[in-house]
Structure 1
Amino acid sequence: MKTYRKNTAAIILTAENEILLFQRADLPQVWGFPQGGIEKGESAEQAIVRELEEEIGTHAFDIVGKYPEYLRYDFPEGMTFPDWSYDGQEQQYFLIRLHPEALINVKTEHPEFISYKPVCFAAIDFNVFSFKADVYRKVLTYFKKEFKEIK
């Protein structure tokens, strides 16, 4: 039986209703979204607030939506991690709206990203998401339908 790490992830909107994509530090050809494990005793909402502070250095945002269920993806063959072994992740996705004064800082203590860029939904190339592409497509399509202001 496969095992999945409980995780949370954020789709982040700018004040202009564009989606922020983040370029990974460990795989610069891959773009994605901030995410991280849900710690013992922590809710998914608490985890996403903590993860955004750790990964993009801000707490100037509001949670404006939540995907209605957890989604799973499997790690590619051969992908390993030093501290744990799971077959994939089971994630709760949140739609986050940055406050206009929010400052993003990807140069955190343990950087996961090296850069970021705002994009319109129509301009997203799902190929840059690697093995997470199907889950990202599902989540982004849902949020685009539910939150019409997304560009």
Structure 2
Amino acid sequence: MMNAEKPKGYRPNVGIVVFNADGKVWLGHRYGMTGDHSWQFPQGGIDEGEDLEAAARRELVEETGIRSVDIVARTADWVYYDFPPEVLAQGKIGKNYLGQKQVWFAMRFTGQDDEVDLHAHHEQEFSRWEWCDIDRVIDRVVHFKRDSYRKVIAEFRHIIKA
């Protein structure tokens, strides 16, 4: 059950962890960003009235082109993270929000790697991608998302061996 008592001011969002048959996870490098900490899982906003699973599938297709997935799990509750002051000051992301609250979905990729199309949507999110060991993810994401990623990885770690 989702906890309705969490603070206001957080943008509702979905996140997706895609596992391949080898237990590695899909990780994308943010388009237009530089540096070693510009990698992340697909994620995105929920449209007004949109079902969470539908939002996760839509965001996955828009950001990666991936359609061949089976949902195997989702987080039990919202996972929150705050935007740091330097991000809020830029006014690009986080406008009118303190951070994001996310429901995360674990999905098993059932297609072939050539299904990935980073140009599937008019707004390109990622410049490149790779299959990554889940234990290497935290050191590659931006600092303010690390705690939320730790929670998600802990909740989905059992899927690696599934």
TM over 0.5: yes
Specify which structure has the higher proportion of helix: 2
Is 1:133 the counterpart of 2:133 in the alignment?
no
Aligned pairs for 1:84-99 (under 5 A) are 84-99=95-110
- Residue 47 of structure 1 aligns with which residue? 55
Q: CA RMSD in A?
A: 1.9
For residues 94-148 of structure 1, give each alpha carbon's deviation from its aligned partner in whole angstroms, at most 9, with x where no partner exists. Answer: 00111133611112321100111112223x152321110111011112211x325
Is 1:71 the counterpart of 2:79 in the alignment?
yes
10, 13, 29: which one pairs with 1:4? 10
* Structure 1: distance between partners of 2:93 and 2:22: 39
Is 1:35 the counterpart of 2:43 in the alignment?
yes
After TM superposition, the structure 1 stretch with the greater mean CA deviation from structure 2, 1-10 or 64-73, is 1-10
106, 118, 127: which one pairs with 2:118? 106
Tell me, what secondary structure is at the counterpart of 2:86?
A: coil
After TM superposition, the structure 1 stretch with the greater mean CA deviation from structure 2, 95-104 or 42-51, is 95-104
1:78 Cα deviation from its structure 2 partner: 3.1
1:50 Cα deviation from its structure 2 partner: 0.6
Aligned length: 148
1:59 Cα deviation from its structure 2 partner: 1.2
* Structure 2: distance between partners of 1:60 and 1:88: 30
1:113 aligned partner, one-letter code: F
> Matched residues, percent identical?
32
Cα 1:120/1:83, change in 2 over 3 Å:
closer
Contact in 2 for aligned 1:15/1:100 (Cα 8 Å): no
117, 120, 127: which one pairs with 2:130? 117
Structure 1: gaps spanning 5 or more residues: none
* Structure 2: distance between partners of 1:66 and 1:20: 16
Contact in 2 for aligned 1:21/1:119 (Cα 8 Å): yes
* Structure 2: distance between partners of 1:137 and 1:71: 10
* Structure 2: distance between partners of 1:52 and 1:2: 26
After TM superposition, the structure 1 stretch with the greater mean CA deviation from structure 2, 54-63 or 99-108, is 99-108
Runs of 4+ displaced beyond 6 Å: none
* Structure 2: distance between partners of 1:28 and 1:78: 16
